[in-house]
Chains A and B, each alone.
Chain A
Amino acid sequence: MTDLERHDYDVIVIGAGGAGLRAAIEAREQGLRTAIICKSLFGKAHTVMAEGGIAASMGNANEKDNWQTHFRDTMRGGKFLNNPRMAELHAKEAPMRVWELETYGALFDRTPDGRISQRNFGGHEYPRLAHVGDRTGLELIRTLQQKIVSLQQEDHRETGDYESRLRVFAELTVTDILKADGAVAGAFGYWRESGRFVLFSAPAVILATGGIGKSFKVTSNSWEYTGDGHALALRAGASLVNMEFIQFHPTGMVWPPSVKGILVTESVRGDGGVLRNSEGKRFMFDYVPDVFRGQYADTEEEADRWYKDPENNKRPPELLPRDEVARAINNEVKEGRSSPHGGVFLDVSTRLPAEEIRRRLPSMHHQFKELADVDITAEPMEVGPTCHYVMGGVEVDADTAATSVPGLYAAGEVAGGMHGSNRLGGNSLSDLLVFGRRAGVGASEYIAALGDSRPAIQDADVDRAAEVALAPFRDASENPYSLHQELQQKMNDLVGIIRREGEVREALDMLDDLDERAKSVGVEGHRQFNPGWHLALDLRNMLAVCRCVALAALERTESRGGHTREDFPGMDPEWRGVNLICTLDGSDAVQLRRQPVPEIRQDLLELFERTELSKYLTAPELARLDAGGSSTQQGSADGSDRS
């Protein structure tokens, strides 16, 4: 029997970012004994890095804004592949989730009449992002962290113990979800500090583990983003949806090499920054795609007037959705019009007074000064695309965040569906709160229905989990660091921003090879805070997730949002109705299948002009719309007749 530390809870939340903390607050408020587990210290999760803001149609900057416009923008951004129910709930509930943060102590920037200020962002029709300078994620995480502390203080007053109902297990990595009779029974992990194993018994687990960016070489994501939650869900028997959709943020730092990929917030463009190539040209005017023509300015003059008078002018094309801007930059670089270090220029220095730049973009100013020796109030920045966000993720029920495995829930970046093929800026932070809360509610309803019959963990499963976790301490020659570097480079090159069939096939071969070599990864030393060992365990997750990405990227023979196939450059209405689903088979091999996208309700479709819908929907879908809708599933949705 494995030597371990044991804990008993009602709910375990894996992840202490925005989604995990909001889920935990909800679970605790619903009366559940809740554990929060995270790989880094409390308050350091990836959410802390979010800069620009949190999207919610509070209508403080423009009273015309409402949930319907937010819904429309979200669906457009996602190219209509979003889970429509998720997009609807998100648009409706985001304002209340933001206002709630104020009751926890958040201090957003204000409008002149004292309400929460809202800023412009790519793809959002109205100024919609609540923000605190360019450190909104820090405000979000600190606020939720402090709310947790306040709940712990309440518990302390009542029970004499801060941790009687809500405890944070920081620097603990979960390596397996344990089940009994098909339902969740708990989770297994290790303390990063001591290497000691920990077993949690709990009938409900909420995954809030974030993304997968560390599988790519150039990324804005931190080391935590190794796709653990995605892999845990797969191994527990849940499914992943649309893993081919990965957002490459158009503006990451490109120089110096050691900071390549670090994010340059979109607020730089929202606040007036423009993109230029080596010829000094504002090239984005050449890249407005047909579906967006009519919403974006044709001339620099009109674009510039928009900042002052958005009612009577169209938006600058720099504020197109991220996928469009990233592809445009990629193309400028490919055609030889790049800045000295292989990016393009992003300039605010000629657009705003220095004082204003320092006030509105303090952390960008700081970041460039400290890391690149560039003063953004005096000279342009050099930027290029960086792997930023995964739209794909664990398949969940929109209302409860439940996966197909009883007791397993997922919320935040690890969950899929909400953003369709492309996420709008600011829509992640709001997603975390809306669906984090819903996961907390979902889990508590599930537990209430369970009553006293909680699944019991089997000793044999625990021993197996321990065995797998200890496997890297073998006398073998593969170095986890080199394997990881190879994976990152290859994913970047072969399944990156632009994809081709041959290259994706090459990536799949490379994954076969790495899977094989991963079996002989060996690490030195002991279990105490051993980063080589940690990486070896993370590698297993990254390899599984990368295979899902590559398989789905090969299957989807069209270009849409965060998936661009050079050999299939157009968007195909037949594919609009198709989700690609990954699961594991009995021998842990990834299986891919097609599944219809949930139908968009008639009343939601009617929020759009028919001419706009005709750019996305198939002829039969449009005919049904004209006939007043129907409750049957879209017939063409499996897309299986495509070559």
Chain B
Amino acid sequence: MNTICFHEFKSLFKSFKTLAIIGIIFGSSYLLADVMGQFMQELGTGELGKNAYAAGLMILIVFFGLFFVSGLSHDTINREVSSRTMRFLVTKTSRTKIIIGKFMGISLFWTLCLFISFLLISSFSKEFLWLSFAESIIFITYSISLILLISVAFPRPAVTMFSGIILALLFPAVSFWAIATSNPLVSWVKFLSPYYYIYLGGSYILMPIAMTVLLLALSIFLFKRSDL
């Protein structure tokens, strides 16, 4: 499992896309924290609280996190299945370990990436914003498990690239619509969305973690039943 995890982690750095996304995230968290800092000085500090420094990054993660994760990892399983490197992996380790290892590898990458972003932000906020950091990790790991499921469910990388983009754009839009609307036909969707629980805050924040576990279990279930 650890072997798969580190292999996945390392191979994420092999692509140009990764460097671009890291650049965007580091750059914007630094710039937006700076902007927020000046904004707060004009308003007089204290009103918004320290976490406001991370607001820029949080918005980026909430609206584009799924998009970034999908861009980097939409083909993490199906690429290896279609190129058949997966055949070597499954003869040496269990399918459950492959899924969990990949999940851990991608999560490790994002945890590191977000950790550095929050370090950059802390140069403005003067303290490490643990709560926002944890929230962003919860959201990102949810996104990873969702993208992993798609990568298991659709065998062709071209399909997941396309469906990943569509999902990444539609998912936040539909979720916010479901949260805002009183239309009962739409509003139930919010219970499936991590946005709702992040919006509710408090211990509801644990709901997306449970959903992550559920999505992972579903991926493992599907992966165990497929011919490679």
Question: Do A and B form a real pair?
Answer: no
